[in-house]
């Protein structure tokens, strides 16, 4: 689910940015579910100050436009740590100063101790990540937030692949995003979706992008929700 229309400008600009940055690539890639995907989105490649700053701008603009109310950001280790920090900076620049926190993979037994780092986890907490693949990091984040006495209020991601989740090697009826929404009653705000990616490919003249479209369309027909 995206809180935005299929062809909204922000999503189209984001897809174009991801392609230009080589974060979104086309070819043949094996997913965690064992599928051969014709595209691959690797947010770890937003790996310099300019790209990370622009990514944060897209998250912040989407969040503000969504109207979702939250008191702080929580970034699950590891990618969520950088995202929470960067988006917190951009939100503050736009007049929405929010604290952020994140978790360690392993508890620390000295200094401040524990697994949570940053601002006290309290109030309405928004989880930030790059994508939701199996929903594992979201589930773990929800448990940590609740254990701290706070309330998970939503999830924001860069790209919603809008494809069926897998369970025990079988395709589910719902996507991982839909499962998170259904199981936890949390809204998921995505900067862009597979629908937006298809809309982007529809209007391209570059030969490589034109050539990529049929494979993405076929993949969507097979695995899409």
- Active centre residues (catalytic): 108, 110
Shortest CA distance to 191 belongs to which of 65, 47, 23? 65
Helix residue ranges per DSSP H, the chain: 9-20, 49-66, 79-93, 136-147, 176-184, 194-202, 207-223
Angle in degrees, CA 148, 154, 158, rounded to 5: 120
Shortest CA distance to 23 belongs to which of 40, 48, 36? 40
Please, which residues have CB within 8 angstroms of residue 110's CB and are 6 or more apart in sequence? none
Residue 72 and residue 100 in contact, taking contact as beta carbons nearer than 8 Å: yes
User: CA–CA separation, 149 vs 151, rounded Å?
Assistant: 7
Shortest CA distance to 77 belongs to which of 106, 52, 99, 98? 106
Shortest CA distance to 133 belongs to which of 214, 79, 70? 79
Which helix (H) or strand (E) segment holds residue 131: the answer is none
Query: C-alpha 196: how far from its chain's center?
Result: 14
């Amino acid at each position: 689910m995206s809180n935005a229309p299929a062809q909204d400008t922000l999503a189209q600009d984001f897809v174009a940015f991801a392609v230009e940055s080589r974060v979104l690539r086309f070819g043949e890639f094996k997913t965690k579910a064992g599928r051969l995907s014709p595209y691959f989105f690797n947010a770890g490649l937003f790996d310099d100050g300019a790209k990370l700053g622009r990514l944060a701008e897209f998250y912040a603009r989407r969040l503000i436009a969504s109207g979702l109310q939250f008191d702080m950001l929580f970034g699950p280790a590891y990618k969520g740590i950088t995202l929470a920090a960067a988006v917190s900076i951009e939100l503050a620049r736009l007049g929405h100063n929010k604290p952020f926190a994140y978790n360690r993979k392993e508890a620390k037994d000295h200094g401040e101790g524990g697994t949570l780092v940053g601002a006290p986890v309290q109030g309405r907490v928004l989880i930030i990540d790059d994508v939701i693949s199996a929903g594992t990091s979201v589930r773990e984040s929800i448990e940590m937030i609740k254990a701290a006495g706070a309330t998970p209020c939503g999830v924001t991601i860069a790209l919603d692949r809008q494809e069926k989740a897998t369970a025990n090697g079988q395709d589910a009826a719902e996507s991982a995003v839909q499962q998170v929404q259904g199981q936890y009653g949390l809204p998921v705000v995505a900067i862009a979706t597979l629908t937006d990616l298809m809309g982007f490919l529809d209007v391209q003249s570059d030969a490589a992008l034109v050539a990529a479209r049929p494979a993405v369309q076929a993949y969507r027909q097979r695995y899409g929700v």
